[in-house]
Structure 1
Amino acid sequence: MSTATLSSKGQITIPVAVRAGLGIDTGDRVEFVEVSPGHYELVAATLPTTALKGLIGKPEQPVSVEDMNTAVRQRAAKAVDP
């Protein structure tokens, strides 16, 4: 098990074994994800945005920009007039 100590500035040094396991290096970003109260996971946030391609499937029917704008206007109108 790897451990780290919190500094007076709220900083920690991630142990070498953990950095290697996450595949992170100097300048890379990490995220702290709460998995349950008081328990967090450290996740490497190093993937490029192109890695998201294909995550969501294509809609059954294409939606035009005009239809999207209409839907946004209708939703905004509902928010103003409850």
Structure 2
Amino acid sequence: MQESTITVKGQTTLPRDVRAALGLTSGDRVRYVILDGEVRILKARSVKELRGALARSDQRPVSLDEMDEAIGAAATERALPER
């Protein structure tokens, strides 16, 4: 278990093992998630780093126009009365 001390300014240094586990280097940002009285520290990621995170090898990329068409078609389908 790792621990660190909080300064009078509310600051602390993340232990080396914690930084290594999260892949943190100088200048990186972290996020704090509070769940049921516990805090989880996550490495903050930029939107650019998320590119391709949902990509699947069996599915081609979809353009924004194709997405808009699909959303419009689904909305139209839902708006039509059932027969």
- Which TM-score bucket, shorter chain as reference? 0.5 to 0.7
Tell me how many residue pairs correspond in the alignment: 62
**Cα distance 1:63–1:28, how it changes in 2: closer, same or farther (>3 A)?**
same
SS at 2:26's partner residue? coil
TM-score normalised by length of structure 2: 0.59
TM-score normalised by length of structure 1: 0.60
- Residue 68 of structure 2 corresponds to 63
**Structure 2: tracts of 5 or more residues without a match:** 55-61, 73-83
- Residue 44 of structure 1 corresponds to 43
* Identical amino acids, percent of aligned pairs: 37
- Residue 76 of structure 1 corresponds to none
SS at 2:39's partner residue? strand
Q: Deviations over 1:9-64 (max 9, x none)?
A: 0000000010001000111000000121x21100011x331333354xx69x6437
**Structure 1: tracts of 5 or more residues without a match:** 68-82
